[in-house]
Structures are given as structure tokens and as C-alpha cells.
Structure 1
Amino acid sequence: MKHHVSTNENVEGANSTEIKNAGNGKAMLARYEQKKQARLVAQKRRKKYYRFMRRIGFAIIVAWIIGELILNGYSVLKNTAGREIAMMRFEQALKRKDVAALQTYIRIPGEAFPVNETTLQPLFTYLDKHPQAYETLERDFDKQRKMKHVYIKGLTSKPPVFTIKVYENRYVFEPTLYFLKIRLDEADDLMLVNGKKVQGEATKDPFVKKVGPYLPGTYTVTSVEDGEKRKKQTKQVILFGGARVYEVDLTKE
């Protein structure tokens, strides 16, 4: 049995299919637009998030830099204050002849000899007779504030009387140690420094002996020649600034 479909029914079916296809196309377009908008919104959110994180990172870096500057500034201020206090107390200890305090402030390079009342006495004697010497010390300290290297052994002939250094997290004062080259009438003459007999180190000249080291201060150097009549020569020497080696001629009256 044959089925007959009218032309109108065919047209209506075709129209219905076209409507469905058109509806599906609009739905797909709508979904595409929605996804596109969602992607745009997500991109904007990511950009906003990244901008926010960059700002946070920048703020952290700025805060860290400011903190470092503050800490460094505080450290410099603290070190400067500590240095000034150490210099003030060192000068007070010298004026008061406070041996115990000076033993904590004065550090002998290489521990050549101890710091005690005997070794400090020539320095006390010089400062008592020359109070302006404190101004010399202050000028030396001022130079050391401004210059990184004040004295280079072997290159600078006139070191400061005391060099400020940091030792075991505290400020100490290293004195320049002086030597005497004593010229004698006879190679076997007896030598005394501040009344104490010294042997001396031989030099190329048999009539010149090198003695030391000594702290800054005033020293009396004496030579005694044996014979029928003991001949004595004495000179007072000031070791405070200047060259590290001081020549003393005891052959002259």
C-alpha cells in the first residue's frame, strides 16, 4: 500500500527542520559568546590578580630596602657612638693614670711586652709635662675617622701615636712602638734606658746598638764607659709621633 504525502506536508517539514537548525545555530552562537565573555572575564581577573601581586611584591621590596637603610643607619650610628665613647674614656684613663682601665684599652701589637705601671710611666711623664699632647691624639683620631688607612707599615714613616682598631667586638688603641738607635763612644759601653740596663741589638755599625720596642713617652738614655774614670753620657728622648726609629748620639757632649 503506498503512502502519499502532500506537498504542503513536505514544505512544513522542511520549514520545521530549518527552524530547528536556525535555533541550534543561535544556541551555539550564544554559548560561544558566553564562553568568550567568560574567558575575557577570567583574563581580566588574572591581570588584576597579577597587578595586585606585583604591587604587593614591590611594596615588600621597598619595605625591605627601607628596613635595611634604617638598620644600616642605626649600625653606623651605633658604631660611631661607640667609637667616640671609647676615645673619650681612653683619654680620661690617661689623665687619671688608670692603669687597670688602660690595660683593657691598650693592645700591644704582637704582645711584645705587658701593659703595666712600669711600661706606662714614660707616657704618663710625657703627658704631665706636655698637656697639649692630647690635642695631637685628637688630631690623629680625626684623621682616622676620615681615612680608611692611616698608616701602612713600610710605606708610611710617621704613624699615628695610637691607632684605633676593633678587636674582639670592642675598640682598642694600638700604640706605635718605637726603637732607639744609640751611638756609643765604645762598642762595649754600658747602656741604660730610664735607669734600666739594656743589651741592644747589633747593627752594621759596631758603635750603634738598636734597643726597643718602647711605648710613646719620655725616656732617659745613658751610656757608661768603663775605665780609670767612668765616663757618663745622658740624653732625654721624646718618643711621641714622628718616625718609629729614633737615633740617639751619645758621643757628643
Structure 2
Amino acid sequence: MNEQGGMQKEAMTRGERRKQKRLFVFVCLLFVVSTCVVGAWVVAKQKTSEQKAIEQFIAALRQEDMHMLQQFIDVPLENKASLLPLFAYLRKHPEGYDQIRKELDRQKDDRVYIKGLTSTPPIFLMKLSQGTYKFEPALYHVYVQTNEQGARILINNTYVGETNASLMKVGEYVPGLYEVKMVTDEREQAKKISLFGGERIRIVHFDSN
């Protein structure tokens, strides 16, 4: 009798262990599924937030809304003049909006640009800063090459210096349309350059007298 009771007790114990094992497996599966669902939701929410920020940024560019752009662009903007070259370029080349959008869309899945090391930076680099998406414009390094010494250099009619070497750096500029002038006592030369994608370093060549 005792032997039969012991066998029943052992069978119940095995049954309980199987139940506990099944419960453990179920809990593990539930945890994995929940983690995947939450992870997918977080990724979807992030992509939605990124897309919304991109659309708002493009809309602000189209409207030339400085108030909105000052919130989006991750460089100090003193006034509207800071972005006039960009507005001028986009008015002349409206396809530039699509180019910006395509680059930003690619950045959502491919963040391989290393600032300062890549020679062809995106026009705007999207990044998350304190929970807010910011757009950092590329800075193009503009040089003037000429054998003319003491010539005055102007960028969009703003004096930036005089030539003192065959290759002179005149500054760093955000994307946009610019006019570079070299003025001497004898003559004035002007060249337009588009800083909108492509190499970071741009060299403008001027002939000597």
C-alpha cells in the first residue's frame, strides 16, 4: 500500500515538474515575443518621428521660415542673411528639395558619414540632440587660386580678404549659391559657385593680369 502511494506521489511530482517546465517555456516565449513587439514599436515610432522631422524641415525650407529653421538647423543663425545663399540656390534649383530629402531618408538606415573624414558630406546631417532632431549643414571650404597678389576677394559682395599666396582659403560656407569676386585696380573677375553636395573643398581659379 505504501509502495503504491509512493508511486502515485512520484507520478504527481513528475507531472508537476512537467507543468512547471511548460509554464517556464511559456513565460520565456511570452517574454521574447513581448520584447520583439516592444522593439518593433520603438523602431517604428523612431522612424515615424524621423520622417515627421524631415517633412517639417523641408516645409520650413520651402517657406523660408527662419523661426522654424532656427529650431531645426544645428548651427548658429544670426539672421535670414545666413541662409540667403541656400534660399537662392533652391529657388533656382527646386529639385534640391528632393535631393535633401533623399539624402536624409538614406541616413535613417545608413549612418556611415564620419564628420571631418568624409570628403563628400551630406548637404544636411540629421542627428538626435536631447530628444530633438537637428539638421547640421555641410561646411564647404572655399579657396581662391591665383598668382595675383594683393587682389581683393569678395563673397556675395562681402569683403573677405586680399590674396597673399597662390592658394588662399577664404572661408567656410553653408550650402547655397555664391558669387566669388577678385578685384584689382585694373579689372574685376567674378565666378558663381554652387555649394550643394559634392566635395567639401572647392577651389576657385582666377587668371592673373
Report the TM-score when normalising by structure 2.
0.90
Cα distance in 2 between the residues matched to 1:201 and 1:166: 40
SS in 1 for 2:190: strand
Alignment equivalent of 1:196, drawn from 158, 178, 183: 158
CA RMSD of aligned residues (A): 2.1
Q: Which one of 246, 249, 252 corresponds to residue 202 of structure 2? A: 246
Look up the match of 2:137.
Answer: 175
Q: Which amino acid aligns with 1:223?
A: M
Q: Residues of 2 paired with 1:48 and 1:105: CA distance?
A: 63
Picking from 116, 133, 158, the partner of 2:96 is: 133
Measured against aligned partners, the alpha-carbon deviations of 1:181-239 in whole angstroms (never above 9, x if no partner) come to 1123423211111111113897xxx222112211100011112224xx4x221111110
Answer yes or no: is the 8 Å Cα contact 1:221–1:237 preserved in 2: yes
My pick for the range that moved more, 49-58 or 94-103, is: 49-58
Q: How does 1:59-138 map to 2 (within 5 A)?
A: 59-108=26-75, 114=77, 116-138=79-101
Conservation of the 8 A alpha-carbon contact between 2:150 and 2:163:
no
Q: Report which of the two structures shows the higher radius of gyration computed on alpha carbons.
A: 1
TM-score normalised to the size of structure 1?
A: 0.76
Structure 1: which 5+ residue stretches go unaligned?
Answer: 1-33
Q: Distance in 2 between matches of 1:175 and 1:208?
A: 25
Deviations 1:19-47 (A, max 9, x none): xxxxxxxxxxxxxxx22122212211211
Deviations 1:58-107 (A, max 9, x none): 11111111111111111111011111111100000000001111111111
CA deviation digits over 1:105-147, x for unaligned, max 9?
1113xxxx53531211100111011101112112212332342
The percent identity for this pair of structures is 31
SS at match of 2:37: helix
Contact preservation (8 Å) 1:103, 1:116: no
Measured in 1, the distance between the counterparts of 2:37 and 2:141 equals: 47
Which letter maps to 1:47?
A: R
Aligned equivalents of 2:79, 2:35: Cα separation in 1: 44
Q: 2: distance between equivalents of 1:84 and 1:56? A: 42
Matched AA of 1:122? P
Does the 8 Å CA contact 2:127/2:135 hold for their aligned counterparts?
Answer: yes
Deviates more, 1:167-176 or 1:184-193: 184-193
